[in-house]
Amino acid sequence: MNRKFQRKQLLVNLDNQKNICLDAEELRLTFCLALCKIGNLCDILSFARPLEEMYNFWLHRHCEQFYSNGAIRASRLSAFVDQVLYSNDYRALANEFSMTPVEMIQNVLG
């Protein structure tokens, strides 16, 4: 069966010079990778800590299967996740995940 790989696109600016278009699987894997990294600082997401290597592996595997420069692409996406988290002080993001939904609603409405 010959299935064409379909993309949902997300344009990401890497290195302020080149744009990269993430397909749906890359988007899912990079998002999961980001949550794993946030889990290093947030108890609610602590279950995700040991999954970081697995998501990184699958990101590399996916990129190598579908793109000619797969290893480079996966490394750039992983570096992009780090850049987004660290440049935006992901400790602040971790604080957002440390509240329960009830606490979030109370903070917004209260």
Q: What is the pLDDT of residues 52-94, one digit of tens each?
A: 999 999 999 999 999 999 999 999 999 988 888 887 666 776 6
Structure tokens at 76: 């750039």
Please, are residues 31 and 59 in contact by the beta-carbon 8 Å criterion?
Answer: no
- Residues 22/55/99/86 CA torsion (nearest 10 deg): -70
d(CA 66, CA 53): 20
3-state secondary structure of 22: strand
**Type of residue numbered 14:** L
| pTM higher than the cut 0.85 | no
pLDDT recorded at residue 3:
43
pLDDT recorded at residue 15:
53
